[in-house]
Every structure is written in C-alpha cells, then in structure tokens.
C-alpha cells in the first residue's frame, strides 16, 4: 500500500476528483480517499512512480506528500467520526483533522477571517461569486479616494487661499488617463493584498461560484465555470457585503442612471450631474465630480448628514455652496425621465435637468440567494444578518461579519469583525466593542466623528456638557488661511468625561483617532486639555476645544498650555 497526505480537500466532490485523478495514473489499481482525514490509501503495482501520484493531486490544486499511515477506517466508521467532529468543540476535540471553515465572500471581513482561521489551525474554503477583494479595494474605498484626491489637486490648481501670490492655473482634466492610473492602483492592491495572498496559502481553497445553504452544515456552490460543488463545514462565516440601494422612484429603472460603481469607472465627466442622496457616498462623489469640472446638483430628501449633529450638515452645505455645488434640501424626485441624452427629475420644487444621474441612497446587504432559511439564519427587516458581539448569527456555529450584517458599514469594522469571528470559530471568545468607533467622510473639509453626539447621549439618558470651537481659533487653520468648519466635544455632565467628538475640518480624519483614544482611555476634557499637543497641527484643535470648558481660548497666547 501507498499512503498520501493531502491538504485542500473540503468535501465529497473533492474526494471524487482526487480519486479519479489518482486512478488514472499508470500503475494505480485503486485509491481510497478521505477529505476528513486528508489522506489517500492506494493499491499500486510495483515500480509505480511516486512523483506521478503527487503530481496528479497537485494538478487539481491540492497538495500531496508521501506518508506512512494506518489502514483507512471503514466508511461507516468515518461517518460516525465526522458526526463527532461536527458536534465537537471549536477546534475538533479528537485533533485528527483540522476544523473545516467555509467563508462566503472575499472582501475585508472574509480575508481577515480566513487568514486568522488558518493561523488558528483551520482548513478554509473561501467562496467568491465575483471579483476577488470585495467592495473596498475594487469599487469602494480605494478607487473613490483616488478620484477624490485627484479632484482635490485639480481644485487647488484652479483655486486656493494663496492665489494673490501664486497665480492659479486651471487644469486640463483628462479623465480617461486619471481612470487608467486609478484602476492600475486598484489592480495592484487587489493582487498584492488579496489574490496573491490567497494563491500563496495552501490552507485556503478558493472556489469561484455562488454559494447557498443546503442545511446547517453544508453549502452548494454553483461554479462560475459550470457545475455544482458541495462544501461541508464545521463553521461558516458569511461575509457577502452589500450593494448600492436603488429607491423605488417611478421611471428610474428605465433610465441609464449611475450608482457609485458606474460613476467610479466612467471615463467621461458629465457636464451636468444630478445626485440623489445626502450621506457619505453622495457627498464624496458629488464634490469630486464638481472639482473635476461637472456642474453638480444634490437632491437631499432632508438635509446633508441629517442623522448626524445638525452642525455637520450645515458646515458641509455651506462649503459646497461656496464651491458652486447646488444643494437642494428637503427635495425628492417623484419621477425620473430620460430622453435624448438628458435626465429630467420631477420634484415638488420644479424640474432638475442633468446629463447624468448618480443614485447614492445607501447600501443593501447581499443576503438574497444565500438560502439562509435552510440553515436557520435570521435577518432583520432590511435583510441584514443579525449578529451578536461575538459575530454569531442565530445559528451558533454560523457567523457573519461586515456589510451584510447589522454592523456599521466600514471596512475596518468588517475586518475587525472577521478576525474576531475566526477566533471565536476556533475556540476563543472575544467581542467587538464599537463604543469608540471613528468614522471619516472624505469631503473637503472632511467630516470625522467618534462616540456620542449630543442627541445620541440624550437618547441614552446621558446628560451632556458640550463645546463647539470654530476653526478661526485654531492656529493651523489660520496659517492655512482655511477656517471652514469646527471641532465639537461632548462630555458627560458632572464627571467631565469625554464621550464624543464631531469635527468638520481639513484632514479631520487625521485627528479623530486621537479623540477615539481619549474616549477609550475614559479621559476627562480637563485631562485632554492638559496634554501636550504639537503647535500648528490640526489635532491641536482638540486641546483648544477641551480648554474651552474652563477658559476663553481667545484670551490665550497662540501656543499657551
């Protein structure tokens, strides 16, 4: 008998492929293969080349090495042992095979979970129906921030606070070349941070296809290249992300509207762009297109950032209008028509006409088609998978993370959740604490928040003491000749403990983590005011805002401690 140790098999379908490949090797009389044991027992003729056996397995994408092993168990005995493994503790109590983990998706949450699960000793099957890498690197964070940065550069060449001494030079925008540069970096990061890592990790098997649950311990995968593949698992992570939401506006579906996906890869710039939406994606892309040369009109059902502190929406709206972006508050489209290359949006205040329409009204979880009911996984009214702090769903051995869940839709939250889910799947017990979760919107000025707003604190029964510092009190902003915005601190009344920060400033994203650490450390505003902050930095505004709780900062010298 000849024995092989085989890694990468995850189901009976894998076994069938390996068995067929081995039995086609000249000299092999029979092959008994088990994915549960990760092994094969072969009856071979004398002189059968052993390297041909390992090569046959490698040709299927698995790894095989020669091994000494006892005779294989009977099929019934093996099934009994598999049932024991499935019901055993997180790492498989008998230790005879690695825990089998299925991960649906390949974005931030999925990759973090897959890598941590492998680090913990698991064997992972990762299933992706589309492009590897998920939203952030392909159609979200990375391309949008590249486009926003290019637009920022274009804006500074066209207009800056120093134009009296430095003549502005309106740029020629070659959108198709900017797009090539943008997509080149996207491809580079996808390969370096996703595809390359997966290709180089033998403990992760990648299946390209669409997964759906058969029951609580198995998936059926409709393979992209045809056929069905069955995947059994001990633990499963659902990390399928979200897609742009499309509101049910009459006429909209019959038009060639954009979501953020199409907007980011367009190689042309519309002369007139209408944007439906009032939050992160809407405002980021609206300003980017405006700075690249489009005439932009935003239709906000309420006001910009209406779920945040009102001062945020007011500050961003004022900044946008100064740049020539038309912001229509309390305006909804009741009908959308498209003819002769023009969109016509009917609203309660009249018509809005545009050459292109961007719909950016939020995102919906990608949970349809997973047959979650077959596994007993619960979703909320929006279709998001309901999870607890440990990322467990309503089924204890099935976990979920990222934008397909009821968590905040940020890639760093998704990655942190994926890592913790993997730890919990493999025997640990950790939670994800979002009490000091920072958030950034990459407009100019940027919007950054962490912790409680005043309204949120009052909703939770917390009395507050708050201060708002305008940027004309921050030396860095004065030196930049750019005093748009503010920094607001929210403290718990009585204790003075810092519980929230809202900032609308240039580079607000670079100061908000300091605020998050202060909240995490349960600092009071006085303790924050007593810290050393480097002079002529925007983050010094946190210290100044903290000082306003006890003194008038207008009466301080410029770098007073």
SS (H, E, C) 352-379: EEECEEEECCCEEECCCCCCHHHHCCCE
Mean of all residue pLDDT scores within the chain: 92
- 14 included as an active-site residue: yes
Domain-embedded: residue 475: yes
Do 201 and 225 lie in one domain? The reply is: yes
Task: Please tell me the predicted confidence (pLDDT) of residue 514.
Answer: 98
pLDDT tens digits, one per residue of 226-241: 999 999 999 999 999 9
pLDDT-based confidence at residue 561 (cuts at 50, 70, 90): low
Q: Annotate 420-453 with three-state secondary structure.
A: HHHHHHCCCCCCCCCCCCCEEECCCCEEEEEECC
Report whether pLDDT(86) > 80. Answer: no
Do 268 and 218 lie in one domain? The reply is: no
- 11 included as an active-site residue: yes
CATH number at residue 443: 3.30.390.30
Domain-embedded: residue 93: no
Give the β-pairing of 63-66 and 204-215. unpaired
Report whether pLDDT(214) > 60. Answer: yes
Helical spans, DSSP H, in 163-245: 175-190, 196-199
Do 509 and 471 lie in one domain? The reply is: yes
pLDDT tens digits, one per residue of 365-416: 999 999 999 999 999 999 999 999 999 999 999 999 999 999 999 999 999 9
Task: Please tell me the predicted confidence (pLDDT) of residue 554.
Answer: 84
Total domain count, the chain: 4
Domain-embedded: residue 152: no
Task: Please tell me the predicted confidence (pLDDT) of residue 58.
Answer: 78
Task: Please tell me the predicted confidence (pLDDT) of residue 11.
Answer: 62
Catalytic residue among 1, 335, 535, 559: 559
pLDDT-based confidence at residue 10 (cuts at 50, 70, 90): low
Domain-embedded: residue 432: no
Task: Please tell me the predicted confidence (pLDDT) of residue 83.
Answer: 36
Cβ(204)–Cβ(114) below 8 Å:
yes
Task: Please tell me the predicted confidence (pLDDT) of residue 398.
Answer: 98
Report whether pLDDT(559) > 90. Answer: no
Cβ(15)–Cβ(229) below 8 Å:
no
| Higher-scoring residue by pLDDT: 553, 271 | 271
pLDDT-based confidence at residue 36 (cuts at 50, 70, 90): low
List beta partners, residue 213: 219
Catalytic residue among 1, 35, 72, 141: 141
Do 402 and 276 lie in one domain? The reply is: no
CATH number at residue 219: 3.50.50.60
Task: Please tell me the predicted confidence (pLDDT) of residue 560.
Answer: 63
Q: Of 374, 427, 423, 377, which Cα lies nearest the Cα of 398?
A: 377
Do 350 and 387 lie in one domain? The reply is: no
Q: Report the pLDDT averaged over residues 100-128.
A: 98
Report whether pLDDT(440) > 50. Answer: yes
Do 370 and 451 lie in one domain? The reply is: no
Do 400 and 543 lie in one domain? The reply is: no
Report whether pLDDT(533) > 70. Answer: yes
Domain-embedded: residue 32: yes
Domain-embedded: residue 81: no
Domain-embedded: residue 164: no
The backbone torsions φ and ψ at residue 255, rounded to the nearest 5 degrees and listed phi first, read -115, 160
| Higher-scoring residue by pLDDT: 61, 350 | 350
List beta partners, residue 273: 296, 356
Report whether pLDDT(80) > 80. Answer: no
Q: What is the domain range of residue 415?
A: 100-133+185-244+364-425
Catalytic residue among 35, 111, 136, 523: 136
| Tokens found for residue 512 | 């908000």
Task: Please tell me the predicted confidence (pLDDT) of residue 488.
Answer: 98
- 9 included as an active-site residue: yes
Report whether pLDDT(249) > 80. Answer: yes
Task: Please tell me the predicted confidence (pLDDT) of residue 74.
Answer: 38
Last residue of a domain, one of 317, 340, 361: 361
Do 108 and 219 lie in one domain? The reply is: yes
- 62 included as an active-site residue: yes
pLDDT-based confidence at residue 96 (cuts at 50, 70, 90): low
pTM: 0.82
Helical spans, DSSP H, in 120-259: 134-139, 141-158, 175-190, 196-199
Q: Report the pLDDT averaged over residues 517-533.
A: 97
Task: Please tell me the predicted confidence (pLDDT) of residue 84.
Answer: 37
Task: Please tell me the predicted confidence (pLDDT) of residue 136.
Answer: 96
Distance between alpha carbon 559 and the CA centroid of its chain, in Å? 39
- 141 included as an active-site residue: yes
Rounded Cα–Cα distance for residues 433 and 362 (Å): 24
pLDDT-based confidence at residue 130 (cuts at 50, 70, 90): very high
- 404 included as an active-site residue: no
Last residue of a domain, one of 309, 327, 361: 361
The count of C-alpha atoms lying within 13 angstroms of the C-alpha of 555, restricted to the half-sphere facing its C-beta, is 5
Q: Percent of the chain, pLDDT > 70?
A: 93
* Residue 217: partners with Cβ closer than 8 Å, 6 or more residues away: 86, 232, 233, 234, 397
* Range with lowest mean pLDDT among 47-51, 141-145, 266-270, 485-489: 47-51
Q: Report the pLDDT averaged over residues 419-433.
A: 97
pLDDT-based confidence at residue 66 (cuts at 50, 70, 90): confident
Do 354 and 207 lie in one domain? The reply is: no
Catalytic residue among 35, 62, 257, 399: 62
| Tokens found for residue 491 | 């403290």
Catalytic residue among 3, 11, 111, 399: 11
Cβ(357)–Cβ(276) below 8 Å:
yes
Do 462 and 400 lie in one domain? The reply is: no
List beta partners, residue 128: 208
Do 115 and 236 lie in one domain? The reply is: yes
Report whether pLDDT(530) > 90. Answer: yes
pLDDT-based confidence at residue 293 (cuts at 50, 70, 90): very high
Rounded Cα–Cα distance for residues 253 and 276 (Å): 14
Domain-embedded: residue 144: no
pLDDT-based confidence at residue 275 (cuts at 50, 70, 90): very high
- 236 included as an active-site residue: no
How many contiguous H segments (helices) and E segments (strands) does the chain have?
Answer: 18, 25
Do 264 and 291 lie in one domain? The reply is: yes
| Tokens found for residue 516 | 């998050």
Task: Please tell me the predicted confidence (pLDDT) of residue 325.
Answer: 98
């Amino acid at each position: 008998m000849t024995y092989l140790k085989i890694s990468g098999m995850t189901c009976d379908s894998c076994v069938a492929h390996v068995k067929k490949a081995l039995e086609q090797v000249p000299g092999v009389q029979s092959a008994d293969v088990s994915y549960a044991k990760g092994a094969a027992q072969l009856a071979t003729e004398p002189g059968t080349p052993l390297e041909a056996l390992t090569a046959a397995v490698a040709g299927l994408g698995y790894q095989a090495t020669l091994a000494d092993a006892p005779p294989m168990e009977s099929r019934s005995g093996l099934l009994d042992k598999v049932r024991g493994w499935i019901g055993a503790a997180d790492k498989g109590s008998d230790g005879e095979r690695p825990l089998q983990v299925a991960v649906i998706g390949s974005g931030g949450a999925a990759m973090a979970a897959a890598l941590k699960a492998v680090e913990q000793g698991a064997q992972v099957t990762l299933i992706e129906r589309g492009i590897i890498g998920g939203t952030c690197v392909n159609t979200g964070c990375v391309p949008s921030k590249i486009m926003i940065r290019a637009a920022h550069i274009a804006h500074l060449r066209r207009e800056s606070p120093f134009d009296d001494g430095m003549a502005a030079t309106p740029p020629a925008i070659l959108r198709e070349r900017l797009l090539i540069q943008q997509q080149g970096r996207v491809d580079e990061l996808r390969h370096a941070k996703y595809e390359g890592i997966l290709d180089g990790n033998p403990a992760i098997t990648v299946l390209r296809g669409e997964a759906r649950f058969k029951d609580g311990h198995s998936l059926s995968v409709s393979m992209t290249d045809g056929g069905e593949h069955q995947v059994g698992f001990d633990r499963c992570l659902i990390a399928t992300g979200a897609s742009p939401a499309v509101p049910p506006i009459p006429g909209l579906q019959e038009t060639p509207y954009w979501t953020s996906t199409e907007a980011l890869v367009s190689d042309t710039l519309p002369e007139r762009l209408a944007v439906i939406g009032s939050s992160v994606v809407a405002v980021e892309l609206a300003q980017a297109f405006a700075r690249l040369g489009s005439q932009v009109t935003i239709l906000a059902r309420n006001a910009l950032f209406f779920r945040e502190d009102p001062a945020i929406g007011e500050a961003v709206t004022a900044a946008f209008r100064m740049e020539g972006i038309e912001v229509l508050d309390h305006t909804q489209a009741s009908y959308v028509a498209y003819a002769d290359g023009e969109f016509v949006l009917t609203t309660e205040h009249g018509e809005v006409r545009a050459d292109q329409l961007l719909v950016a009204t939020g995102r919906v979880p990608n949970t349809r088609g997973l047959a979650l009911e077959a596994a007993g996984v619960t979703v909320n009214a929006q279709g998001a998978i309901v999870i607890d702090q440990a990322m467990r769903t309503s089924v204890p051995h099935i976990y979920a993370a990222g934008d397909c869940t009821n968590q905040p839709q940020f890639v760093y939250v998704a990655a942190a959740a994926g890592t913790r889910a993997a730890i919990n799947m493999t025997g640990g017990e950790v939670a994800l604490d979002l009490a000091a979760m920072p958030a950034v919107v990459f407009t100019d000025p940027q919007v950054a928040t962490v912790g409680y707003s005043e309204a949120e604190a009052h909703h939770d029964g917390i009395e507050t003491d708050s201060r708002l510092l305008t940027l004309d009190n921050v030396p860095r902003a004065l030196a930049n000749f750019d005093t748009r915005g503010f920094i607001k601190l929210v403290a718990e009344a009585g204790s003075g403990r810092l519980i929230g920060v809202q900032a609308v400033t240039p580079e607000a994203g670079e100061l908000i983590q300091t605020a998050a650490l202060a909240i995490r450390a349960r600092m009071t505003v006085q303790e924050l005011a007593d810290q050393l902050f480097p002079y002529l930095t925007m983050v010094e505004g946190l210290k100044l805002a903290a000082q306003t709780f006890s003194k008038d900062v207008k009466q301080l010298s410029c770098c007073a401690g």
